[in-house]
């Protein structure tokens, strides 16, 4: 019997879902993949611009989230360096992830820190 990595609930046989390499119960999975709010014009615009669905993260976005999960937050410079991403690309990924409510920025000692939502 598996348990959900998000909420810890035991998952009935055959009902586990996988997202970004994590085993999740159906509820948490649906929470994670649920669409951005329709009232957010940027997210809607972005959704239209992609051939797939907005719930599908690019490997680079998944890497960023995994890194933030591991570190609990990092500066953009650190992420760019650790993940070998160009700063301009990183800015774009953050914009997407922020609109998906996956990450947010906060200030710590005057420095910008990116952390999970």
User: What does the binding site for Zn ion look like in residue numbers (CB under 5 A)?
Assistant: 4, 6-7, 9, 25, 28
**Which residue, 28 or 64, is less far from Zn ion as judged by CB?**
28
Is-contact 87 76, C-beta < 8 A? yes
Task: List all residues 6 or more positions away from 38 whose beta carbon is below 8 Å from its beta carbon.
Answer: 44
User: Taking the complex as a whole, how short is the minimal distance between the CB of residue 34 and Zn ion, in angstroms?
Assistant: 14
User: Taking the complex as a whole, how short is the minimal distance between the CB of residue 3 and Zn ion, in angstroms?
Assistant: 8
**Which residue, 10 or 35, is less far from Zn ion as judged by CB?**
10
**Which residue, 4 or 54, is less far from Zn ion as judged by CB?**
4
User: Taking the complex as a whole, how short is the minimal distance between the CB of residue 40 and Zn ion, in angstroms?
Assistant: 25
Sign of CA dihedral 14, 4, 71, 62: positive
């Amino acid at each position: 019997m598996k348990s959900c990595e998000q909420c810890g609930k035991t998952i009935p046989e055959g009902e586990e879902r996988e997202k970004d390499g994590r085993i999740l119960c159906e509820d948490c999975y649906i929470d994670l993949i649920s669409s951005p709010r329709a009232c957010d014009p940027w997210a809607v615009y972005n959704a239209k611009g992609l051939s797939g669905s907005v719930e599908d993260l690019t490997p680079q976005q998944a890497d960023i989230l995994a890194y933030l999960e591991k570190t609990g937050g990092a500066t953009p410079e650190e992420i760019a360096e650790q993940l070998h991403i160009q700063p301009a690309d990183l800015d774009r990924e953050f914009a997407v992830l922020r609109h998906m409510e996956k990450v947010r920025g906060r200030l710590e000692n005057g420095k910008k820190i990116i952390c999970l939502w």
